[in-house]
Chain A
Amino acid sequence: MLTFILRRFFQTIVVIVILSYVCFGLMNLMPGDPVELMISANPRITQEDVTRLREFYGLDQPVYKRYFAWVSDISTGDLGYSRTYRIPVTEMMLPALLATFILSMASLIFSLIVAIPLGILCALKPNSKVDYAVNLFSFAGISVPSFWLGIVLIIIFAVNLGWLPAGGYQTTGMQYSSWFAEMMDKGKYLILPMVSLSIQSIGRFSRFTRSAMLEAMRNDFIRTAKAKGLSNQVVIWKHGFRNALIPLITIIAISFSSIFSGALITETLFAYPGVGRLIYSSIIGNDFNVAMVSFVISVSMVLLMSLVSDILYGVVDPRISYK
């Protein structure tokens, strides 16, 4: 197993290096650069300023030279300096990553808490009224565009009812008397974006759970377990659900891989200072250092979670071996 993990780890590094170069090259193919943005914000910037700034930022150098310069900086632990925000990348990325992690994890966990029981319930009572109702909810959840759902949630809960804030991360400028007060305040801001993100995931997860569980419950060993007189709970959770876990692990692992990538539309709608918005603005603004660090994190997470799901297959199903 150790050989398997090491081999996969090495492959992961190679893939990251190749993809990062491709990404760097693609970003360079986009027209314009950060200096163009400066010109649009300041009509008095002269052509001499433009030439000087391009030279200063190294934008006049070929792509491969700039890539190697970036790699050499990264290898020394210097993630660079954001051209857009004018601060070191680490100072900017860490709070955004934390905010996104909280939102994505809360949404993922909430989705799983709701979706798995719903999926199992539907699988145990296929074609029942409950199954139809859950199916309807699931398809609606998958189909509803998140930007529309977000606006509807804001109008209902923030504008009309006034129960929840329309957007943000915390009450700006609020003094917290205790850790609990701060948690309650931030939690309130998390509800709408979390629900907006979760509705789609709940639909997807419940559909997967239902089909995986239906498949598992049709197996001979389930009939044998029932014939042995085992309780329903044991049959469902120990024999049925455990066997339904393999396809579920794949989709949950994929979802996990995006917890640091952010949710651009949701974050933008709810003015949530997460990493999704940061990645978008860095790509649009040709802020190479931020975009590349974000990219490496995203790619690493996908590859890492793919590795984790492969390992977990073996944990839930001992028949699977690593070679």
Chain B
Amino acid sequence: MKSIYLGLVLFTTLLVAAGCTKKEGDGTAAGQTAVATSSSAKLSNNELKIGISQEFENFNPLIASMSATTYMQHMVSRTLSTIDADGKWVPRLAKKIPNLADGSAKIVDKGGKKKLVAVWEILDNASWGDGNPVICEDFALAVKIAGAPTVSVGEKEVYTQVESIIADPKNPKKCTFTYEKAKWDFYQLGTFYPMPKHLEEAVFKKYGSQKEGYEKNSLYSKDPTNPGLYNGPYVMTEIQLGDHVTFAPNPKFYGDQPKIKKIIVKLIPNTGTLEANLRSGTIDIISSLGLALDQALAFDKKIKSENLNYKVLFQPSAVYEHIDLNLDNPALKDVRVRKALNYSINREELVNSLFEGKQNPAIHSITPKDPWFTDDPAKVTIYKYSSREAERLLDEAGWKMGADGVRMKDGKKLTFTLMTTAGNKTRELVQVYLQNKWKQVGIEVVSKNEPARVFFGETTKKRNFDSMALFAWVSSPENSPKSQFTIKNIPTAKNGWSGQNYMGWANSKVDDILNKMDTEFKPETRIAMIHEVLKYYTDEVPVLPLYYRSDVAVIPNQLKGYRLTGHQFPETDEIEKWTVE
């Protein structure tokens, strides 16, 4: 038996050894110890470990769709333009954003169709990590690959809206883009990534005709650490799916060289252990893809009470938490009932009591960071909490208070079902808060929660919610709300449940404005148009706005230059500015 036991111990040792490979990182961590009791104490520009809680995928920018991949992509790849931390469109790989005013963009008539032609000039020193310059042909290749029916690109329109890209014969960096439609938002190419022609064209030529052939054989899959694939401030040096990705500065980067010499993004899928990983030194910061708001609030308190060397950042984001009302519900067809529901919500109290004021109350679907935002009472209807006004509206609508405290009309109780995603602690708290508020004015609301997959995959998609659906829309600045507001986008069996107008809101005037807005090039006119839409939105109350969510991150006090953005282009978009002091 002794020999059996010895054998077992030996086997266990061999097992661990079996997991050892000859693969080595190429950073500067030789000799480092795995365990540290306080990371921030020895934090330096030599290395920074970022914790994320979401899975990431292959880095091919045409194909990747996960938020965590997008987060890291901004470290290694740049686009022609982007939205900065202040919410403004700014050039990145381009010298400037073309516009109609100076003639760098113009509307032309081609075969009776109005098209837009814009000249994008790429920065002279913009190059790939292997030293090859970024040229117009890299963008043309991206359009070609993305347009292929054998390649599964998510947001294809970003690429296919560009009909052609022609390089200036004398300057391969001066590109004339012809857009299929003359739309004002042509310059919003934040997700239009160039593809390194000198590397990827051969792969596409060889495998592009096979279904998924390009994806499987792209260098982003086969040789992801090839520096020639990246043009951002960093290049990838190691990737282990499901665990971590390591980055090193790109010496060929067109901008200022990044200060931090090595960045490791580590996946810690359980948000409950992110704090422990931070405090034990496994990671140095928790990114915006980490903690939930309640966890961040709890950690913020600990930082203050235990005097820890971290700070929690809260940044209002473009995520709009709201309740879609099903306008087919007989009681909700009456706008007075919808307004009464809106008047009964004390949003200030809600955000202060549940979120300690770290999230802002919402008044409509456009978030405060968006240039289109307005809170001018002359332009949108503001519903300030007033239970008295809510009661008046309900009385007027014929809903009289019953003996049990619930209003009645024609023998029917004023009862609604509020549905949301099960297991979301914050939303469940909001549900309880709202139920109490509505109960005070005689509206009975029962909760019915479902797993996110069922809720989004069936219930909202097919408008199977009886009256109310609580969830969030992720938006971006200056994003037309057509898919959520227009009649065409009311999901029905006939249109294959397409569209996101889950309320069933039908206002032909809104449709007209939004359709005209597509081709309106004057920013001030566009703003006036969207304000007109918001006026209808707030007057007719197809949706109950609740609050705008905040992005949260935890960073050590020594880290400077780190700014949360609050929109779809994450903080890594300016990672070269980060430094440890």
Contact = CB atoms under 8 A, between A and B. Distances in A.
Interface in B151-167: 152, 154-158
A49 B19 contact: no
Contact of A171 (B32, B63, B154): B32
A175 interface: yes
B47 interface: yes
A237 B1 CA distance: 8
Contacts of B277: 158, 166-167, 271
B24 interface: yes
B57 A154 contact: no
Contact of A154 (B36, B158, B273, B457): B273
A53 B65 CA distance: 13
B528 interface: no
A248 B254 CA distance: 66
A45 B262 CA distance: 34
B545 to A, nearest CB: 17
A41 B66 contact: yes
Contacts of A271: 243, 266-270, 273, 277
A165 B273 contact: no
Contact of B17 (A81, A165, A183, A281): A183
B130 interface: no
B458 to A, nearest CB: 4
Give chain B's interface residue range (CB within 8 Å of chain A): 35 or more
A278 B47 CA distance: 28
B536 to A, nearest CB: 21
Contacts of A300: none
Nearest to A233: B1
Given A38-B65, A51-B496, A159-B280, A43 B473 contact: yes
Contact of B57 (A43, A85, A162): A85
Contact of A175 (B24, B58, B149, B211): B24
A55 to B, nearest CB: 9
B276 interface: yes
17 contacts: A38-B65, A41-B65, A45-B154, A86-B57, A88-B221, A102-B19, A155-B276, A162-B280, A165-B280, A172-B49, A172-B264, A175-B30, A176-B20, A185-B34, A186-B16, A271-B269, A273-B241
Interface of B: 1, 5, 8-9, 11-13, 15-21, 24-27, 29-37, 47, 49, 55, 57-58, 60, 63-67, 70, 149, 152, 154-158, 191, 211-212, 215-216, 221, 238, 240-244, 246, 262, 264, 266-270, 272-273, 276-277, 279-282, 453-454, 456-458, 461, 473-476, 479, 483, 489, 496, 498-499, 568
Interface of A: 30-33, 36-38, 40-53, 56-57, 81, 84-88, 92, 95-96, 98-99, 101-102, 105-106, 109-110, 112-113, 150-151, 154-155, 158-159, 162-169, 171-177, 179, 182-183, 185-190, 237, 268-271, 273, 277-278, 281, 284
Given A42-B65, A151-B272, A163-B35, 15 more contacts: A40-B456, A41-B67, A56-B211, A84-B66, A95-B241, A106-B12, A109-B12, A162-B35, A167-B277, A172-B49, A173-B47, A186-B20, A189-B34, A268-B270, A277-B242
